[in-house]
Structure 1
Amino acid sequence: MKRLARVSAMLSALLLCLLLTMTAAFAASVQDGAKLLKAEQKAALEQKIKQVEDAHQVKIGIVTMKSLKGAPPGKTANSILDKQYAGGKNGSIVLLLAMDSRDYHVSTDSVMRTIITDDGGFPHLKEAFLPHLKDNDFYGAFDAYVDGTDEMLAYYEREGEPYDPYNEFSPLALVIAIALGVLAAILVNSVLEGMMSNVAYAPSADAYLEDGSVSLTENNDTFLYTTETRRPKPKKSSGGGGGGSHGGGGGKF
């Protein structure tokens, strides 16, 4: 009897895994529950997403909702990713929008999180689509989200490391810019000094004082007190997509 129960439990677990896999396989790449897109816009996005998914072997989702009904955006996005968009060979990513609270959240799985990182990749992706969201240009936002994802996936495949805006920083360019700035400041200062007729070089500080204008009769220093203020060092808060193996982030638009 116990053996039969164990077999039954194993079959149930296997069936559940199969069901989740099939759900992820057949889930539409764009689920516009909030009705933000025209039919032709949705079709264009789905076609673009299919091309990016095939090119990089990933899963990409866009989900809009009228309301989260009080549910946390991060946990909701993570749950949608796990149930409907899991199984991307090189990772999965989902953008969730909730219109009543104007929340957005991007969720990445453990594989995609190593490609589109929380610290470098997600802020870059957010900069691409968030301005469109704030302007209520939803098609533009989703299009930029797909393009940004494609861009960072291609960068990772080409460079062998995740995209980071600091990788594009050039120390040599900074040194050159500082040097040019200093030279420009010296030049401007020299020109201004040359235009001032009442300015002349003085060999000592006495030349700047009129005779008899200052007379020191006593010199005394008195120490009063020292004020010391201590503040507790703030603890670094954790960001990301809601904990666990998920990554990404979100906010308001």
Structure 2
Amino acid sequence: MCKTNCYKKCCAFLAALLMLAVLALPGMAAAPLVRDEMGLFDADTYNELEQSAEAASSGHDCDVYFLVVNDIGDANQRDFAKNYYVNNGLGSGEGKSGILFLLAVGSRKYVTITYGGGVTAFTDYRIEQMEDDIVPKLSDGDWAGAARTYIEMADYTLDYYAEHGEPIDVDNDLGAEGLLFVIGIPAAIAAGVCLVFYHQMKTAKEKTEADDYMPGLKLRVKRDVYTHTTQTRVYDPPKEEKSSGGGSSTDSDGFGGSSGGSF
């Protein structure tokens, strides 16, 4: 009887341990997306950014990371970010899909890297757009503003890709709806105004005599005398040709993104 009771207690104990392990799995899997390794953000700001990054990543099988470190020394920022991504097992799903923005505050360096599905969703063109909006905030020391901008733009990019089935790129920047709003509607308004003016001008009559414009003016002598010709030359330098190609470029390790820079 004693052996039976001990056996039952042991089984119950093991079952309890197994249940605790199962309950702990979601928490273990939910690795932070905002990785502030130098304590740059206060608690409220960090929680806000983390929630935004989770919302941006949700449903896209592509994690949005914002990594803050202090000093990376002489290391290349792209190599540092790639090593961090791999060594920490980042990314969503089997493809380890994600995008990571590295901010090295002490070194004043930054870089954006993508991997897996993140390479497809974030084209070189889009990453350049994102960094153009983020870097000025870094230069001003607006760390939280830079992080918010990055997460918001990443969120919009992933939503666009999910909705349209193609990433934001050089040939579809605003999409059909955006072009209609930015170009079509103002053009329609301008056409309407011009049409009103055109109908108003139908009652106007062309004046052919100078006296019609300046009553009482009489010229006794009319003579045209040629004096000189003025020629102005303006130098028009040749413009650099920009590549019309889009898409995402990758390195030998399969990472996309930018080469980064300083701020």
Q: TM-score range by the shorter chain?
A: 0.5 to 0.7
Q: Are the equivalent residues in 1 in contact too, given 2:124–2:249 (CA < 8 A)?
A: no
Match of 1:117 among 112, 115, 123: 123
The residue that corresponds to 1:212 in the other structure is 219
Greater Rg over alpha carbons, structure: 2
Decide whether aligned partners of structure 1 residues 85 and 134 sit closer, same or farther in structure 2, where only a CA change above 3 A counts.
farther
Deviation at 1:94, TM superposition (A): 0.4
Counterparts of residues 41-56 of structure 1 (less than 5 Å): 41-42=45-46, 45-46=49-50, 49-50=53-54, 52-53=56-57, 55-56=59-60
Decide whether aligned partners of structure 1 residues 54 and 98 sit closer, same or farther in structure 2, where only a CA change above 3 A counts.
same
Which whole-Å deviations, capped at 9, do the CAs of 1:59-113 have from their partners, x for residues lacking one?
3322112234354444543444454455533721001112235443322236313
Aligned residues, how many? 216
Seq. identity, % = 25
| Matched residue type, 1:119 | Y
Decide whether aligned partners of structure 1 residues 38 and 108 sit closer, same or farther in structure 2, where only a CA change above 3 A counts.
same
The answer to whether the aligner puts 1:158 opposite 2:196 as a matched pair is no
Q: Are the equivalent residues in 2 in contact too, given 1:106–1:241 (CA < 8 A)?
A: no
Decide whether aligned partners of structure 1 residues 147 and 249 sit closer, same or farther in structure 2, where only a CA change above 3 A counts.
farther
Q: Are the equivalent residues in 2 in contact too, given 1:132–1:140 (CA < 8 A)?
A: yes
User: SS in structure 2 opposite 1:55?
Assistant: coil
The answer to whether the aligner puts 1:69 opposite 2:69 as a matched pair is no
| Matched residue type, 1:175 | A
TM-score, normalization by structure 2: 0.57
| Matched residue type, 1:215 | K
Decide whether aligned partners of structure 1 residues 233 and 155 sit closer, same or farther in structure 2, where only a CA change above 3 A counts.
closer
Which ranges in structure 2 are unaligned for 5 or more consecutive residues? 1-28
* RMSD over aligned Cα atoms: 4.7
Which ranges in structure 1 are unaligned for 5 or more consecutive residues? 1-24, 191-199
**In 1: Cα distance, 2:73 partner to 2:248 partner:** 19
Which of 236-245 and 107-116 deviates more? 236-245
**In 1: Cα distance, 2:242 partner to 2:128 partner:** 19
Q: Are the equivalent residues in 2 in contact too, given 1:122–1:248 (CA < 8 A)?
A: yes
User: SS in structure 2 opposite 1:63?
Assistant: strand
Which of 222-231 and 46-55 deviates more? 222-231
Which whole-Å deviations, capped at 9, do the CAs of 1:147-167 have from their partners, x for residues lacking one?
442333233222212245421
Decide whether aligned partners of structure 1 residues 162 and 102 sit closer, same or farther in structure 2, where only a CA change above 3 A counts.
same
Q: Are the equivalent residues in 1 in contact too, given 2:98–2:115 (CA < 8 A)?
A: yes
Counterparts of residues 78-227 of structure 1 (less than 5 Å): 78-84=82-88, 87-88=91-92, 89=95, 91-100=97-106, 102-109=108-115, 111-120=117-126, 123=129, 127=133, 133=138, 136-139=141-144, 141-163=146-168, 165-167=173-175, 168-170=178-180, 171-180=183-192, 182=194, 186=197, 203-207=207-211, 210-212=217-219, 215-216=222-223, 218-219=225-226
